Amino acid sequence: GAAMAHGHGPGRCRCCGEEAAERGAAWGLYLRIDRQRLQCLNERREGSGATVFRPWEERGDRSQFVESDDDEELLFNIPFTGSVKLKGVIVMGEDDGTHPAEMRLFRNIPHMSFDDTAKEPEQTFSLSRDPLGELEYPTKIARFSNVYHLSMHFPKNFGAETTKIFYIGLKGEWTEAHRHEVTICNYEASANPADHKLEQITPQTHFIS
């Protein structure tokens, strides 16, 4: 009966914190990006493109952003650590001319260059200025159901010389890549020492029932 005292009754409503946490979890695909191979072309400061992929709760951190260099174009090459079903995107910038005005998504074309952006994208979005990261752009899920590499091309902005992006949110589902041999080896390598330790400490648990 003691445990019951700590439980919340079924009539208890969900608090805002829980809903925010759930919403944040939905935007967790940034955790599945292969950061070593993430590229942002035409970024003014090296490595700044990677900073826009962060937790949804931290989207308001305006110290982290990417700005384009030579012109207003930005191109992200985003490899994932498995297969992704991409469902939605958030793009957050300044409430001015530096905000990207268009987003073009390509799937499974690793190492895209600006020359490659002449290809037909899987989907193109007209963007609205979104200084708070509130607008969600839904993808055509059928086209983005097996994505191991996503390229995001921002060809133009609202009239400034350079483009600035503070946060990009990626919403969807992630599935582990099927590389069985690797998984099994890793598992055995990490499991064995623990097993042996357990036997030394608790020999009495090895019953034969």
What is the rounded distance in angstroms from the CA atom of residue 93 to the CA atom of residue 91? Answer: 7
Distance CA 170, CA 130 (A): 15
Residue 178: which residues within 8 A CB-CB, separation 6 or more? none
Which residues, given as ranges, of the chain have pLDDT below 70? 1-17, 178-209
d(CA 179, CA 30): 21
| Per-residue model confidence (pLDDT) at position 179 | 59
- CB of 166 closer than 8 Å to CB of 79: no
- The 10s digit of each residue's pLDDT in 177-194 is 765 544 444 444 445 555
Looking at residue 167, its pLDDT comes to 98
Domains of the chain are: 21-173 (2.60.120.470)
